[in-house]
């Protein structure tokens, strides 16, 4: 079970944790912006007082490359590091996970071609957005020769998490919208995933409840609910750690790069048309538990979102996107065939409705038509 640290009282939880553990060399994986934060100053103060050496690694990209991870592994080894602190969004935490995994492997060979060997190095993850839930999952993403590599290992889940409420105060309104929709999409997709379990369903429901309860205050930058938003993101991460994501994510990746929008924004755009399409086509159910189970899941979603009927549920995500003013994307229908070809079929295998290329095309067309109607 993850140990959760609070940011209250000048990060006293972090101070106590460092005092109680005998680390000598810590690898701090972070971006340049973190080096100006109050938390960074506290980490330096606490580690200096405890004679702990801090080694900063920040030489990685927003979509981290395999080569940059290798540089991090080298820094970890060369400095005899015995602990990792990862601060930031999904990228820095993903890099830290890979550094841990690769640190005791054969460094003369490509890490991607080797079996993982679990080790005792612990990771403290400090997410700076309430969205990715990366601190709660066994997944990380890096790029090798421009191709996405999905790394999966239970041994890379961070053992300790610090939720720093201060980090959410400085997020732009768009970042807040996009990241909360990322957590929302994780939970929704986890519910209908063919891999869902009772445990993942419970995590997802609790996450959704926290999001819809606090969304308005969050967008108003009310710090009193930041803890709840972090918890919602963490619960969503725990949910997809069990169930994995589905077509909503498989279909959104090319949208992010093609139209320069955030991941959570793109995922919810897809889910706003995917959900209605699936509700109309439950006869194509591919979940081994059958069509009845899938309809029960839709009923759970309807109840959780407090929708009175199926029509309200079909329009819930559309109305939310409209409310958040997130239909303002300059799309081009000529790109639809390219988008269809970009979809990762492996991700589609988790979806409860079997989707062929024509189904995927219809969903993109419906989305683009709706975006056009809103502009």
127 CB-near residues (< 8 Å, 6+ apart): 88, 89, 93, 134, 135, 161, 163, 167, 230, 233
Share of the chain above pLDDT 70, in %: 100
Backbone angles phi, psi at 94, to 5 degrees: -65, -40
- Cβ 130 vs Cβ 232: under 8 Å: yes
Q: What is the pLDDT of residues 135-167, one digit of tens each?
A: 999 999 899 988 888 899 999 999 999 999 989
**pLDDT at residue 147, rounded to an integer:** 82
- The vertex-137 CA angle with 201 and 300, nearest 5°, equals 15
Quote the CA–CA distance of 43 and 55 in Å, as a whole number.
Answer: 12
Average confidence (pLDDT) over 122-132: 95
Which residues sit opposite 4 in a β-bridge? 161
Q: What is the pLDDT of residues 191-249, one digit of tens each?
A: 999 999 999 999 999 999 999 999 999 999 999 999 999 999 999 999 999 999 999 99
**pLDDT at residue 150, rounded to an integer:** 87
pLDDT band (50, 70, 90) for residue 131? very high
**pLDDT at residue 373, rounded to an integer:** 84
Q: What is the mean pLDDT of the chain?
A: 95
pLDDT at 178 over 80: yes
- Cβ 157 vs Cβ 111: under 8 Å: no
Average confidence (pLDDT) over 263-274: 97
- Cβ 214 vs Cβ 373: under 8 Å: no
Report in angstroms the alpha-carbon separations of 336 from 194, 251, 357, 360, 375: 27, 11, 11, 9, 19
**pLDDT at residue 159, rounded to an integer:** 97
**pLDDT at residue 80, rounded to an integer:** 98
- Residue 353 is given by DSSP the state B
Which residues sit opposite 54 in a β-bridge? 26
Written out in words, the top-level CATH class of the domain with range 3-167 is alpha beta
Pairing of strands 53-57, 160-162: unpaired
| CATH 3.40.50.1970 in the chain, residue ranges | 3-167
**pLDDT at residue 375, rounded to an integer:** 73
Sequence-ordered alpha helix ranges (H) in the chain: 8-20, 38-49, 66-78, 90-102, 166-169, 173-192, 198-219, 226-243, 247-250, 253-259, 263-280, 290-304, 310-323, 336-342, 345-348, 357-374
- The vertex-220 CA angle with 218 and 222, nearest 5°, equals 60
Quote the CA–CA distance of 241 and 349 in Å, as a whole number.
Answer: 16
pLDDT band (50, 70, 90) for residue 347? confident
Q: What is the greatest pairwise CA distance in the chain?
A: 64
pTM of the model: 0.94
Which residues sit opposite 57 in a β-bridge? 29
Sign of CA dihedral 274, 256, 339, 132: negative
Q: What is the pLDDT of residues 42-52, one digit of tens each?
A: 999 999 999 99
pLDDT at 346 over 80: no
Please tell me the CATH superfamily of domain 171-374, with its number.
Dehydroquinate synthase-like - alpha domain (1.20.1090.10)
pLDDT at 313 over 90: yes
| CATH 1.20.1090.10 in the chain, residue ranges | 171-374
Per residue in 43-53, is it b (16+ CB within 10 Å) or e — as a string? beebbeeeebe
pLDDT at 255 over 90: yes
Q: What is the pLDDT of residues 26-80, one digit of tens each?
A: 999 999 989 999 999 999 999 999 999 999 999 998 889 999 999 999 999 999 9
**pLDDT at residue 185, rounded to an integer:** 98
């Amino acid at each position: 079970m993850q140990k959760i640290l609070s940011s209250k009282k000048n990060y006293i939880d972090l101070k106590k944790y460092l005092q109680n553990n005998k680390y000598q060399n810590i690898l701090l994986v972070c971006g340049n912006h973190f080096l100006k934060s109050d938390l960074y100053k506290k980490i330096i103060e606490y580690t200096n007082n405890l004679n702990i050496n801090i080694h900063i690694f920040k030489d990685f990209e927003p979509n981290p490359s395999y080569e940059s991870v290798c540089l991090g592994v080298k820094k970890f080894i060369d400095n005899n590091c015995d602990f990792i602190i990862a601060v930031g969004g999904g990228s820095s935490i993903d890099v830290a996970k890979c550094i841990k995994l690769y640190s005791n492997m054969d460094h003369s060979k490509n890490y991607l071609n080797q079996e993982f060997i679990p080790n005792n190095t612990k990771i403290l993850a400090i997410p700076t957005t309430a969205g990715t839930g990366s601190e709660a999952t066994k997944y990380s993403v890096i790029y090798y020769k421009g191709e996405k590599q999905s790394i999966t290992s239970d041994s890379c889940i961070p053992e300790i998490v610090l939720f720093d409420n201060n980090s959410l105060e400085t997020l732009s309104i768009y970042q807040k919208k996009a990241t909360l929709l990322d957590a929302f999409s994780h939970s929704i997709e986890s519910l209908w995933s063919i891999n869902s379990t009772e445990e993942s369903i419970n995590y997802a429901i609790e996450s959704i409840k926290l999001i819809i309860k606090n969304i308005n205050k969050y967008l108003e930058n009310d710090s009193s609910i930041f803890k709840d938003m972090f918890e919602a993101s963490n619960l969503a991460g725990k949910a997809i750690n069990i169930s994995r994501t589905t077509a909503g994510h498989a279909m959104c990746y090319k949208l992010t790069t093609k139209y320069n929008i955030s991941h959570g924004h793109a995922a919810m755009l897809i889910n706003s048309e995917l959900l209605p399409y699936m509700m109309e086509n439950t006869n194509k159910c591919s979940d081994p538990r059958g069509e009845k189970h899938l309809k029960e899941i839709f009923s759970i979603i309807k109840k959780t979102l407090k929708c009175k009927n199926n029509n309200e549920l079909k329009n819930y995500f559309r109305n939310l996107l409209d409310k958040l003013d997130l239909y303002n994307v300059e799309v081009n229908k000529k790109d639809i065939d390219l988008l269809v070809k970009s979809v990762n079929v492996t991700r589609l295998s988790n979806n409860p409705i079997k989707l062929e290329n024509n189904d995927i095309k219809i969903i993109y067309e419906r989305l683009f038509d709706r975006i056009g109607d809103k502009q």
